[in-house]
Amino acid sequence: MKNASSQNPVSPYCTGCGACIADSDQTLRMDWDVHGFLVPHKISDRPVPELAIKACPFAAAAVGGATDEDKLAEDLFPDAPTSDPEIGRFEQTYIGYSPSHRETSSSGGLATFVFDEVLTQGIATHLFVVLTDGAGYKYRLVEGNADLVTTSKTRYFPVTLQEFFELVPTLDGRIAVSGVACFVKAVRMRQRSFPEFDRKIAFVVGIICGGLKSKYFTDYLADSAGAGARYRHPEYRVKDATASASNYAFSAEGEDGTVHTMKMARVGDMWGTGMFKAKACDFCTDVLTELADISLGDAWLPEYRTDGLGNSVIVTRSRLADDIIRRGIEQGNLHVASCAPSQITSSQRASFLHRRDALKFRIGQARIQGQPVPEVRSRVLKRISFSYALVQIQRELTRSASFTSWRRSRSANGFDRTMRPYRILLKIVTRLNRMLR
Ligand SMILES: Cc1cc2nc3c(=O)[nH]c(=O)nc-3n(C[C@H](O)[C@H](O)[C@H](O)COP(=O)(O)OP(=O)(O)OC[C@H]3O[C@@H](n4cnc5c(N)ncnc54)[C@H](O)[C@@H]3O)c2cc1C
């Protein structure tokens, strides 16, 4: 098992949140690594301050920084009426969409709706969200009067909150931010340690995440779609109202301005195989962004799959978030209804299976190889069958090979050729595991 970020001066498990940079006393700088991730690089002979190491959401227990999600959630949402071992603490669970936003959004448009309300209701004066940046994407500060359509859509591209952590202390006003689970954890850890962050961070939208992808993922998709290496404006979730919700397309603009579109089905399963995924994601137990005010994901459920425009699963965790959703329903601005909590967990079943059930096995593998492991909630650890362990081994080999394969070939055809045996073997062991299960 090759370690994607073995040279990382903060942690071998890194998703590039950038929390460490703010406390690094100029010993660290965010930059691309050889696997296409944004990670901290050491730029000074001085040692990295302990504070920076402790700011990492993947810090090892011995470092003593990261507190587990259960403890953080207890402090954040002490009055939440329900606590569920998979969902975490929450107010209510819903499914649906925002009629005004979903056409220009990734799934039900709930993230854009919520940010709109956060600004309109004066909960925050600024947003920190992900916007286009040439061939890629970047977190940016958005003022209250911005056109929020430009902030919509999911970006499977490495981004960092480094500027957020630097900006908040000097910000005039209050801010709302979107983030995947580990980024949200980094934000909450900072709020706990620094009162000015707690005062200024007004609202956190959690983007349910099945794993962060390297920049190579976008390079591969762009080349597969025919946009070549000098593509611009990648779009990951081009919807088709006449097809099923999961039958979306990728598009990117080639050098000559032509937009190339490709159904994602053409490249096969890019999520279950773990290709281009950050290693740290295999050590994250937070499937449903348990520390956000509101958690939003795709309603990957049979009853919603036929709706090509998409629906969102929604978990409200703070009273403020629940008020936003309830008011949206009452005022007719949301086509959203309460749902059973089990529908939320069912929509992310594959993620729970991989991320939680198989974690104990992956921790064992890491220890055998003498690698440190981040602090994880021991309550989620389980034993898995021999056949599922084989799936885990092959998935890791596939994930690991995807980086070397892309670096060598830099072409979709070459990549597909090298990865074929890995994918076939993964399919075989996955089938075997299903049969035995
Ligand atoms: C890396 C990644 C993996 C995901 N995996 C899953 C999954 O396994 N299961 C699932 O149900 N859903 C997953 N999603 C979430 C899903 O794709 C939608 O983003 C989510 O349902 C919100 O849709 P929406 O229509 O409400 O958002 P929209 O209204 O389209 O708004 C999207 C919001 O997310 C912000 N955003 C976009 N990209 C990022 C990013 N990289 N980091 C932080 N904020 C961002 C935008 O700025 C915008 O505010 C993933 C998203 C990402 C970024």
Residues 111 and 198: their CA atoms lie apart, in Å, by 22
- How close is the Cα of 189 to the center of ligand 1, in Å? 22
Instruction: Give the mean pLDDT of 132-144.
Output: 91
Give residue ranges with CB within 6 A of ligand 1.
101, 105-112, 115, 129-130, 151-156, 159, 178-180, 207-210, 212, 296-298, 300, 312, 348, 351
- Residue 1 reports pLDDT greater than 50: no
pLDDT score, position 216: 98
- Residue 329: which H helix or E strand, with range? helix 319-330
DSSP 97-133: E-TTTGGGSSSSSHHHHHHHHHHHTTS-SEEEEEEEE
- Residue 6 reports pLDDT greater than 60: no
- Tell me the residue ranges of DSSP E strands in 144-213: 175-179, 201-207
- How close is the Cα of 380 to the center of ligand 1, in Å? 25
Q: How far is CA 200 from CA 51, 90, 123, 168, 192, in A?
A: 21, 23, 11, 7, 12
User: Which residue ranges make up each domain of the chain?
Assistant: 69-213+274-348
Residues 396 and 278: their CA atoms lie apart, in Å, by 11
- What's the N-to-C CA distance of the chain in angstroms? 26
Give the tens place of pLDDT for each residue, 109-131: 999 999 999 999 999 999 999 99
Give the tens place of pLDDT for each residue, 285-316: 999 999 999 999 999 999 999 999 999 999 99
Residues 420 and 425: their CA atoms lie apart, in Å, by 9
Do you know the residue count of the chain?
437
CATH topology of domain 69-213+274-348: Aspartate Aminotransferase; domain 2 (3.40.640)
